[in-house]
């Protein structure tokens, strides 16, 4: 799959996901149940891939300890903690304002953290653009 196609599909999928999540929470289901259900279905899809794909197994075997820890931390942060908080917020807020705030504002915080933690360069245009994006997100949400 080409990089542009992957970007396009990600864009479309990320636009659909909050709609499906909001529909799932329509019955006011408890967010922990939603997080667990989502993970169990994902595991159910991934286990056959793991069983059938020698390439995936070889890739996993090639990960070192640091990579396992980093991917594990990313999984706990994104698949458990952030997902739970997102479902809590989604129960009480309109998806049309919450999702743009979270997924427009989060990249701005990522830019700041990338500069502060990773030492990635951030010029004045990056700062100005990030500031405008964040202000737009606030305007949508509040």
**Span 56-85, pLDDT tens digits:** 889 989 999 999 999 999 989 988 899 899
Residue 127 CA to residue 142 CA, distance in Å, equals: 22
Does the pTM surpass 0.85? The reply is no
What is the b/e burial string over 84-118, where b = at least 16 CB atoms within 10 angstroms of the residue's CB? eebbeebeeeebeebbbbbebbeebeebeeeeeee
Phi, psi of 2 (to 5 degrees): -75, 160
Phi, psi of 74 (to 5 degrees): -60, -40
Region 116-123: mean pLDDT is 90
Residue entry with tokens 């990600």: 10
Taking only the tens place, the pLDDT of each residue in 17-60 is 888 888 888 876 678 888 888 889 999 999 998 888 888 889 98
């Amino acid at each position: 799959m080409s990089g542009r196609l992957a970007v396009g599909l990600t864009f479309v999928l990320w636009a659909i996901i909050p709609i499906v999540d909001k529909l799932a929470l329509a019955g006011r289901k408890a967010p922990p149940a939603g997080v667990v259900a989502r993970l169990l279905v994902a595991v159910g899809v991934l286990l056959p891939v793991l069983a059938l794909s020698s390439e995936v197994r070889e890739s996993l075997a090639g990960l070192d300890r640091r990579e396992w820890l980093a991917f594990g931390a990313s999984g706990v942060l994104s698949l458990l903690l952030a997902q739970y908080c997102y479902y809590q917020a989604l129960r009480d807020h309109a998806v049309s304002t919450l999702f743009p705030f979270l997924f427009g504002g989060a990249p701005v915080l990522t830019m700041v953290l990338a500069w502060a933690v990773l030492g990635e360069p951030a010029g004045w245009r990056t700062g100005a653009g990030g500031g405008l994006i964040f202000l737009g997100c606030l305007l949508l949400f509040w």
